[in-house]
Amino acid sequence: MVKGIQKILYVLLASFIGLFITSSFFVRAEYHFYEYGDTPHLGKQQLVLFILIIGTVLALSIFLYKLCLKLNKYSWKIVIPATLLLSCALQIAIIFLFPRLPTDDSETVLSLAMNMLYQNDYSTFQTGGYLYMFPFNFSIVLYLKTLLQLFPDNYLVIKIFNIMFTLVTTLMIYLLYRELNSKSKENDYGVLVFGATYIPALFMSNFIYNDVIATAFLTSSLYFSVRFIRTRSIKTIILAAILLAIGNYFRSIGVIFLIAVLLSIIFNIRKIGVKKAIASLFIMAALFNVPAWTQNAVLQATNVVDESVNDNAAPVYMWLNMGINMNTFGFWDSRQSYNIYQRDAGYNKADSVELFKESISNKLSEASIGDLTEMYFKKIVWTWTEGTYQMERYGMGNDGSSDTGGRRSFNLERYSYTTWTTDLFKADSNYRTALLWMLYVMSFLMYGGIFIRLIGGIKGKRFEETSLILVILGFIGFYLLWEIKSRYIYPVYPLLIVLSYMGFKDFYEYGWKKYFLR
């Protein structure tokens, strides 16, 4: 029964991955802020160029994989610190070579943190304020306020802490891989090196927001939950629950991880034991909302707010309404949904819910089945095959100095100062375009590795990666309905690395070595 359910999950994810791979031969998902502005773009695939880059990146991947195999003879006490140190050095170089300034929500939460710290100004919780509408972002404001209070007031400190969280994520990628392959006699340092040099993650340390922090906590929580299933240690599941609660506090998609962990525990209830399984389920559920409850209690006790911050916050229906958009297939709708909540409902949550329900109903009734099918196809394909997590805007930025008559204004995309790298990778640069192509193809090849691993698991009836599969399926389902950005799926990049490396290793060991090298 359990293995049957797990097989269905593997088949379901393999179907989605197959869709991503197949569609990539026909359409190219892009996010290029200079070229298209802050909108998603699906264009016709440049098939010859696409195949040529696939061959190049694949050959390079095989070369690097073989190079990493030579590290197997060295102790983890040498390789792990050295690899993390390399990753740290690369990220430090990036934040100095691409000194990205905060913009949009990043700039807003930073300014709110400074207002609270230096002026004791909490008016943002009042009607119409940013945290009145989006109280879930108080976590990042509080975090930034704490950093500004403890350390020098500059962007560099915040970005260095981002680097530390990214290094934690890299370590967890390796530990999670090892936990899922506990019987392996090899050290498999290749997955560690892959995680440590993954270009989108290196650049996203430049992004002052909650993505990097939440990813570190959520990945760590998943690792300890997988470890609990093997060791059955209650201390481990308590640690997993605490890390999950903190991760969810920073980004409210932790419920996807929670559901995945709970189902994984249920699937392994015989192995864990009924009593420990029930105890672990209770611990995970009980601790999940503790940070949010604590936040509400403190804010009300200090008279910052008179009621729960969620009572009149923007409802989930706003993002669901934004997620149904024929023009941008669920991307930002130029404040149309915001205006329903702010202007039409006057910041009243209950009134806005009814207006959003009406808007959603009208959109669904006015669109044909063909229109909806096309929209959801574009939505899922763009989100999952764009491949860069919008790194070129949020991590790389732009100096705004292009004199080639670019299509978009860059007033919000500037650097603290310009460098030779900012000039080299400016908005209309071939270097920027080439980097985006490489990341796009790398994402495509990662899906190829994942597909190989899933098919191998189905054929061999091996379902050790079920918890990872559940999380990825959860993200696919959630962002099929929600407003989309490819940045929103950033928290699953560690899982994609783990699964794709497993598939790549299978391909190399049982395909490449057996047939091609012969």
Nearest 10 degrees: CA dihedral of 426, 430, 433, 434? Answer: -130
Please tell me the distance from the alpha carbon of residue 493 to that of residue 201, in angstroms, as a whole number.
Answer: 9
Q: What secondary structure, in 3-state letters, does 275-339 show?
A: HHHHHHHHHHHHHCCHHHHHHHHHHHHCCCCCCCCCCCCCCHHHHHHHCCCCCCCCCCCCCHHHH
CA gap 113, 110 in Å, rounded: 5
What is the C-alpha to C-alpha distance for residues 162 and 131, in angstroms, rounded to an integer?
A: 23
pLDDT per position as a tens digit, 47-99: 999 999 999 999 999 999 999 999 999 999 999 999 999 999 999 999 999 99
Quick one: 401 exposed, middle or buried, by C-beta within 10 A (0-12, 13-18, 19+)? middle
Q: How do residues 434-466 score in pLDDT, each as one tens digit?
A: 999 999 999 999 999 999 999 999 999 999 999
d(CA 378, CA 370): 12
DSSP state of 100: B
Enclosing H/E stretch for 44: strand 41-44
Report the percent of the chain where pLDDT is more than 90: 85
Q: What is the DSSP letter of 345?
A: S
0.85 cut: is pTM over it? Answer: yes
pLDDT by residue, tens only, the chain of 518 residues:
889 999 999 999 999 999 999 999 999 999 988 888 889 999 999 999 999 999 999 999 999 999 999 999 999 999 999 999 999 999 999 999 999 999 889 999 999 999 999 999 999 999 999 999 999 999 999 999 999 999 988 899 999 999 999 999 999 999 999 999 987 778 999 999 999 999 999 999 999 999 999 999 999 999 999 999 999 999 999 999 999 999 999 999 999 999 999 999 999 999 999 999 999 999 999 999 999 999 999 999 998 998 889 998 999 999 999 999 999 999 988 889 999 999 999 999 999 999 999 999 999 999 999 999 999 999 999 999 999 999 999 999 876 544 433 444 444 468 989 899 999 998 878 999 999 999 999 999 999 999 999 999 999 999 999 999 999 999 999 999 999 999 999 999 999 999 999 999 999 887 655 655 55
Is residue 153 within 8 Å of residue 147, measured between CB atoms?
Answer: no
Structure tokens at 436: 């985006």
